Amino acid sequence: MATLQRITVLFPLAFVALLLATAFRAGTAARAQDATPGAAPDAIPPLLQEMVDAINATDSAALATLYTEDGAHEDVPAGVTARGREEIAAFVDATSGQFRDVRFAPVSARQAGDLAVLEYDFSVTDLASGKSLTYRGVLVFDLDGALIRRSADYYDLAAILGQLGQLEMDAVAAEATPAP
């Protein structure tokens, strides 16, 4: 149970990073290069680059302002929902002190009308265990104009638990999860 509670608090940074991605204008799409050592991403629109910078800086206040006053973020694998800007910022703040070496890398992003999707690679160092954690995820956004009304974060919880030593994974399953 303690591991699930820790996971619940651990991963709001990923959702926050992806939330900023929805602020780019309708019809805008960005795609980064495949993750390879030293690879430079394709040109990223300035707003998307600001989002990446805010996530990597773990700026919860900046992320929370991207939501409507009554906006919500759902961490689907953990079963947690933060409602309103204050709860969203608090959710992000609760995770910031648990990690170092935060790296958020967009894989692809698309927006069509009031719907946006952002696929990402995320990595951190967990301060409690000292272990490096990497996983892939996707954020889905319902937009209200230039703000986020709702976001839902879906990520590879099994890979995270395996890396923390909380889930036995055979070699085939461990190799199947891409690492940035």
| pLDDT digit string, tens, across residues 14-60 | 443 333 333 333 334 444 444 433 333 444 445 455 656 777 788 88
Between 73 and 24, the more confident residue is 73
pTM of the entire predicted model: 0.69
Enclosing H/E stretch for 115: strand 115-126
Residue 41 DSSP label = P
Residue 81 has pLDDT above 70, yes or no: yes
120: left (phi over 0), alpha (psi -120 to 50) or beta: beta
111-115, 131-135, 176-180: the lowest-pLDDT one: 176-180
Residue 62 CA to its chain's centroid (Å): 15
Around 63, how many Cα atoms within 13 Å sit in the side-chain half-sphere? 32
**Mind listing the domains of the chain with CATH numbers?**
2-32+44-176 (3.10.450.50)
